[in-house]
Amino acid sequence: MSQPRTIRVSDMTGKEYVFTDEYLLYGDVKDALHPQLDTKPLRRQLVLASSSYAIIEDDTPLPQYDLKLYLLIKEPEWTSKQQEAVVTASCSCVVFRDILPGDIEAFVWGLDHNEFIRSLYVYMNINPIIHIIRQSTFLRRLFIENTAINISSLSDALRENKTIDELTLQNVLFNDKNIQDFSDMISENTTLRYLKMSHVNDNGAISLAESLGINTSLHTLDLSQNNITDDGAMSLAESLKINTTLIRLYLSDNEITDDGAISLAESLGINTSIRRLHLSHNLITDDGAIAFAESLGINTSVLTLNLARNRISDEGAIVLDDSLRKNTSIVKLNLKGNRIHNKYALLSSRITT
């Protein structure tokens, strides 16, 4: 058996603690060590008294994971603020939610000293941690759900950050001014690979389309469940004729009709990078389906096309089915929830109805 480890750590007040590996077994942690510790194989959670929590992922170095348990077990008289700071400083995935005003300073201290953080989930005002988003060289994934967020400040921070590659903005309200600031940042950014946004209208889609004509790093753009109509879809389609790096485009649950669908279909005749295009829950009829059938006769890069729950009838479905006789690259064409009655006329096994 390996020799016990010794870990030295200083808390936020500068006091030094020395811990040895006398309570923990090598490998998985015993449930008995902490009453609120969940030792599931793929994820471990530690719930703090201050009602915020941190998720410990499997890639967190074990000594750091042990360290949090040592501090909580050996120093039970510590306040929730002290526990918050130490746990925050050693987690790879941190959630910023329901933090009491008196605990925010300790929480931010923990983030400032965290060299293991990879994911940050924010449900509060980001002002106290905007400098962390700007300066962190460890953060990879950022999720924000906050209707009052300052988009301009976030855009400025993301301009400087060089490590965040996944960004989700949920229930973040964009207007014509801040969406332009954000899109300008996307044009300059070279690290983002995944972007998901909500509350985007046509003006937002048009601004983002302009940035896609310049950006060369983004692989996935998820604009599902927004307010995008044909104007926004046509602008995005034009950007696909230029962009050569976007792989996945999600436009489900919008208000796109045949005009937008036809433009997107035409772009697939030129674009060679898109692998997945999702347009379910829109207003596309047979005309849009026929346009996609024509593009599939040319395109050899699309693997998945999702047209589920639109207004496509037997006519459009049969034309799409015929197009797959020429196209050998597409793996799945989803037509579920349309107005298709003669499903037995569709011969391709790659069509889902």
Per-residue pLDDT tens over the stretch 300-322: 999 999 999 999 999 999 999 99
Q: What is the mean pLDDT of the chain?
A: 78
Instruction: Say whether 352 sits in a helix, a strand or coil.
Output: strand
Q: Between 343 and 96, whose confidence is greater? A: 343
The pLDDT tens digits for 11-25 are 444 444 444 433 332
Residue 87 binned pLDDT confidence (cut-offs 50, 70, 90)? low
One-letter-per-residue 3-state SS of 196-247: EECCCEHHHHHHHHHHHCCCCCCCEEECCCCECCHHHHHHHHHHHCCCCCCC
Q: In angstroms, rounded to a whole number, what is the distance separating the alpha carbons of residues 39 and 327?
A: 48
Name the more confident of 228 and 10.
228
CB 338 within 8 A of CB 317: yes
> Are 42 and 58 spatial neighbours (Cβ–Cβ below 8 Å)?
yes
pLDDT band at 89 (very low <50, low <70, confident <90, very high): low
Residue 342's pLDDT is: 85
Nearest of 35, 144, 134, 128 to residue 88 by alpha carbon: 128
The mean per-residue pLDDT over the stretch 142-151 comes to 86
Tokens encoding 169: 């903005």
Distance between first and last Cα of the chain: 58
Q: What are 258-281's pLDDT values in tens digits?
A: 999 999 999 999 999 999 999 999
Q: What type of residue sits at position 285?
A: T
Rounded to whole angstroms, the Cα distance separating 193 from 246 reads 9
Does residue 8 surpass a pLDDT of 80? no
Sign of the alpha-carbon torsion through 24, 119, 82, 100 = negative
Q: Return the SS3 of 48.
A: coil
Token readout for 88 is 């925050």
